[in-house]
Chain A
Amino acid sequence: MSNAFTISDEQQDYSQYDLNANPFPYSPVPNENPEIYCGQQHVSDKISSTVSSMLATGKSKHLVVTGKYGNGKSHTLKYTRSLLRDREDVVVGYVAQPGDGFLDIYHEFVYDLGFNRIQELAYEYLASVTRDVTDTNPMGAESMESLIDEGDVLLSDIVPEAIRRLSDVTKFADFARAIVHMVYEDTNLYAWQWLTAEGIRYEQRKEMEIHSALDDDTMGVRAFTAFKNMLLDLGYTGVFVFVDEFESIARLTPKNEQATLNSIRHLMDQNSSGLCILFGCAPEVWQDVMSEYHAFSERIGQEVSLRPLTSEHLYELVENYLDKERPSTVESRIRPFTEESLDLILQRSQGNVRQVLALCSRILDDAANENRQEITVDFVEEAI
Chain B
Amino acid sequence: MLYRRRKLDLPHGKVQTPVLFPVRNIGKRSSDNTPAYVGTIPDFSTAMINARSIRNREPMWNRLTNGVTLREEMDVPEDTIVFADSGGFDFTAEEIDTTPAETLDTQAQLGADIYGTVDVPLSRENRAAENQRRIDQSVEYALEASDRHTGDALLFASVHGYDPETIRNSIQHLEKNGDFDGYALGSMVPIRTDYKKVTKLVLSARQATDKHLHVYGLGGIVYQPLLLYLGVDSFDSSAFIRSAGNRNYLIPGFGGEPLRNIESLDRLPCPCPVCGQRELDEIREDRTALTKHNLWALAIELRRFRYVVEAGRDVEEYLDLRFQGNEVTRRAYETAKQQVRRLT
Residues of A participating in the B interface, judged by any CB pair closer than 8 Å: 148-157, 159-160, 163, 177, 183-187, 209
Residues of B near A153 (CB, < 8 A) are: 169, 173
Q: A156-B136, A184-B163, A187-B163 are in contact. Are A151 and B169 (CB under 8 A)?
A: yes
Interface residue stretch chosen among B20-28, B127-135, B326-334:
B127-135
12 A-B pairs whose Cβ atoms sit less than 8 Å apart in the complex: A151-B171, A152-B176, A155-B132, A155-B135, A156-B133, A156-B136, A157-B136, A160-B133, A163-B129, A183-B165, A184-B163, A209-B127
Q: A156-B139, A157-B136, A186-B200 are in contact. Are A150 and B163 (CB under 8 A)?
A: no
The chain A residue sitting closest to B176, CB to CB, is A151
B33 is an interface residue with CB less than 8 A from chain A: no
Residues of A near B174 (CB, < 8 A) are: 151
Pair B176/A185 contact, Cβ less than 8 Å:
no
CB contact between B173 and one of A151, A159, A186 (< 8 Å): that residue: A151
Question: Chain B interface secondary structure, helix, strand, loop or mixed?
Answer: helix
Nearest Cβ on chain B to A159's Cβ, whole angstroms: 6
Q: A149-B169, A185-B163 are in contact. Are A154 and B176 (CB under 8 A)?
A: no
Residues of B near A148 (CB, < 8 A) are: 165, 169
Residues of B near A155 (CB, < 8 A) are: 132, 135, 165-166, 169-170
Pair B172/A156 contact, Cβ less than 8 Å:
no
Quick one: CB contact mask for B142-172 with A, threshold 8 Å, 1 for yes?
Answer: 0000000000000000000001111011111
The chain B residue sitting closest to A206, CB to CB, is B124
The chain B residue sitting closest to A147, CB to CB, is B169
Q: A186-B200, A209-B127 are in contact. Are A154 and B139 (CB under 8 A)?
A: yes
Q: Enumerate the 8 nearest inter-chain pairs by beta-carbon distance, A residue then B residue, closest first.
A: A151-B172, A151-B173, A156-B135, A156-B136, A156-B132, A155-B169, A186-B163, A184-B163
Residues of B near A185 (CB, < 8 A) are: 163-165
Once the chains are docked, how many angstroms separate the CA of A155 from the CA of B160? 12
Pair A154/B136 contact, Cβ less than 8 Å:
yes
Residues of B near A184 (CB, < 8 A) are: 163-166
Residues of B near A186 (CB, < 8 A) are: 163-165, 197, 200
Interface size class of B (residues with CB under 8 A): 20 to 34
The chain B residue sitting closest to A187, CB to CB, is B163
Nearest Cβ on chain B to A48's Cβ, whole angstroms: 44
Pair A154/B169 contact, Cβ less than 8 Å:
yes
CB contact between B172 and one of A150, A183, A187 (< 8 Å): that residue: A150
Pair B168/A149 contact, Cβ less than 8 Å:
yes
Pair B132/A151 contact, Cβ less than 8 Å:
no
Residues of B near A157 (CB, < 8 A) are: 136
Nearest Cβ on chain B to A153's Cβ, whole angstroms: 8
Pair A152/B132 contact, Cβ less than 8 Å:
no
Q: A151-B171, A155-B170, A163-B129 are in contact. List 5 more A-B contacts (CB 8 A).
A: A153-B173, A154-B169, A156-B135, A160-B129, A184-B165
Residues of A near B166 (CB, < 8 A) are: 155-156, 184
The chain B residue sitting closest to A151, CB to CB, is B172
Residues of B near A209 (CB, < 8 A) are: 127-128
Once the chains are docked, how many angstroms separate the CA of A153 from the CA of B169? 8
Pair A151/B135 contact, Cβ less than 8 Å:
no
Q: A156-B132, A186-B200 are in contact. Are A150 and B176 (CB under 8 A)?
A: yes
B175 is an interface residue with CB less than 8 A from chain A: yes
Quick one: CB contact mask for B162-201 with A, threshold 8 Å, 1 for yes?
Answer: 0111101111111111000000000000000000010010
Once the chains are docked, how many angstroms separate the CA of A177 from the CA of B132? 13
The chain A residue sitting closest to B140, CB to CB, is A154
Residues of A near B168 (CB, < 8 A) are: 149, 151
The chain B residue sitting closest to A158, CB to CB, is B132
Pair B132/A159 contact, Cβ less than 8 Å:
yes
Pair A151/B170 contact, Cβ less than 8 Å:
yes
Q: A186-B200, A209-B128 are in contact. Are A149 and B164 (CB under 8 A)?
A: no
The chain B residue sitting closest to A163, CB to CB, is B129
The chain B residue sitting closest to A185, CB to CB, is B164
Residues of B near A154 (CB, < 8 A) are: 136, 139, 169-170, 173
Once the chains are docked, how many angstroms separate the CA of A150 from the CA of B169? 7
Pair B172/A149 contact, Cβ less than 8 Å:
yes
